[in-house]
Amino acid sequence: MLTSEMIKRAALEAGADKCGIAPMSRFDGAPDDMNPQFLFPEAKSCIGFVFRIPRGVQRGIEEGTQFFQYPSMAYGGINEIFAPAVLYHVGKVIEDEGYEAFVYRNTGARGSVSDMDGSPGNTLSPEEQIEVNENAKTSTAHHRSVQFTRATRDTNVAPDLQFQFRLAAVACGLGEIGWSKMLLTPEFGPLQRVAFLFTDAELEYDEMYSGEPLCRKCGACVRECPGGCIPPINSGKTVTVDLAGKICEWGDIDMWRCYAFYTHAGRYYNPFVPKEVFDENPNGNLDLLEGKTDIADEKEIMKVYGELQKYFPSWVGYNMAKCGGCIRGCVSMLEKKGGCMEGRFKEPLRTKKPWKLDR
Ligand code: SF4
Ligand code: SF4
């Protein structure tokens, strides 16, 4: 007989770092376009998997010496290799017992609504647009959503439905959402990515997390964001979701602004772009990064990407995170001020003042 214990053991043996299981009913209140109940209507259980981000892949960014390991290992590596391999393995264990395993790896930008801001269709992905312009020599736009997707039946929503991964992880009892909108887990703080599997097997379910709040509302993420993308803790700018009775709340982050800053960081945190480029600010293309406009929309972001694309030091399908780092600020705080990462490492992530370019 298939049990939750068998699934969790298989997941950990295959390389996941944590696994939790939720009944599908926990998604009852989700908006249709993001409700995983539509994916596999007969599914009874959602299985969530955590894949830790080794703290060491952040070391080079923390030191200002190496930026490649995080996007290649902890974005690309987890999303494209490690997590799919675990989903594949656990899926086989489930199907060997006669139940179906609907795997759902991290995809991004495949739904009828934007994975940036939930708006329907037609929001641009700057990286993909640049790739098309440069290499395919066409101006066909790529999007953060699939524009022309249509429901295949009256009872369906349009494919490919994309649900909110972090809330699904909370539903599976894996952790909570922090002020910075990152998933925090008791074991790894903000250092993980997640993947999911839906099955028609009825299983034993995990409670949602109800221990000490994992987010300390310390504001380190707010302070360390070079773009001011995360609102101050007491600003009242919050997003609140009632997830089957668990209230999840986080800061209402300016996602488009983050889209510009996490990759390009601005003059003080991007060592790959010469100072003169920021000084010159050709055609005002860097106004957003230079704080000369408050507008952070697709148009402004495309200007930034268009101007700075030649300074991408490499292309791994995932952008280099060059920003000050809400993740590293959070890890550092949770290690030093008595949070869930206290005592995990012999030495803290941060041992000296964070770097900032003098220009
Ligand atoms: S990823 Fe970078 S730019 Fe985005 S909110 Fe975090 S610190 Fe700010
Ligand atoms: S840095 Fe502090 S406020 Fe921000 S998510 Fe982490 S614990 Fe919460």
Amino acid identity for residue 73 in this structure: M
Which among 275, 280, 278 is positioned nearest to 289, based on CA atoms?
A: 278
Among all bound ligands, the one having the nearest atom to the CA of 253 is 1
Judge if the beta carbon of residue 325 lies within 6 A of ligand 1. Answer: yes
Q: What is the mean pLDDT of each run of 10 residues along the chain (359 residues)?
A: 98 98 97 93 98 95 90 89 97 98 85 71 63 57 66 89 94 98 97 98 98 96 95 97 97 92 91 95 97 90 86 66 85 93 95 93
Q: How far apart are CA 333 and CA 188, in angstroms?
A: 13
Is residue 44 within 8 A of residue 202, CB to CB? The reply is yes
* pTM higher than 0.75: yes
From the CA of 222, give the closest atom in ligand 2: 4
Distances (CA, A) of 75 to 194, 208, 324, 326: 11, 26, 17, 16
Judge if the beta carbon of residue 288 lies within 6 A of ligand 1. Answer: no
Q: How far apart are CA 335 and CA 348, in angstroms?
A: 7
Is residue 6 within 8 A of residue 205, CB to CB? The reply is no
Helix (H) / strand (E) element for 62: namely: helix 59-63
Q: Per residue, what are the HEC states of 78-139?
A: HHHHHHHHHHHHHHHHHHHCCCCEEEECCCCCCCCECCCCCCECCCECHHHHHHHHHHHCCC
Å from CA of 220 to ligand 2 middle: 6
Q: What is the pLDDT of residue 139?
A: 46
Write out the two tokens for 150: 């249509």
List, in sequence order, every residue forming a beta bridge with 249; answer none if it has no partner.
240
Å from CA of 121 to ligand 1 middle: 24
Among all bound ligands, the one having the nearest atom to the CA of 354 is 1
Distances (CA, A) of 259 to 13, 121, 127, 277: 36, 18, 10, 20
Q: What is the pLDDT of residue 325?
A: 86
From the CA of 334, give the closest atom in ligand 2: 7
Judge if the beta carbon of residue 227 lies within 6 A of ligand 1. Answer: yes
When computed from its CA atoms, the radius of gyration of the chain, rounded to whole angstroms, is 21
Among all bound ligands, the one having the nearest atom to the CA of 217 is 2
Q: What is the pLDDT of residue 107?
A: 79
Å from CA of 317 to ligand 1 middle: 19
Name the DSSP class of 324.
S
Judge if the beta carbon of residue 215 lies within 6 A of ligand 2. Answer: yes
Q: How far apart are CA 287 and CA 260, in angstroms?
A: 11
Å from CA of 262 to ligand 1 middle: 5
DSSP 144-172: SS-TT---SSTT---SS----HHHHHHHT
Q: What is the pLDDT of residue 140?
A: 46
Q: What is the pLDDT of residue 135?
A: 64
Is residue 40 within 8 A of residue 161, CB to CB? The reply is no
Q: What is the pLDDT of residue 161?
A: 86
Is residue 144 within 8 A of residue 125, CB to CB? The reply is yes
Å from CA of 36 to ligand 2 middle: 28
Handedness of CA 26, 32, 37, 42 (dihedral sign): positive
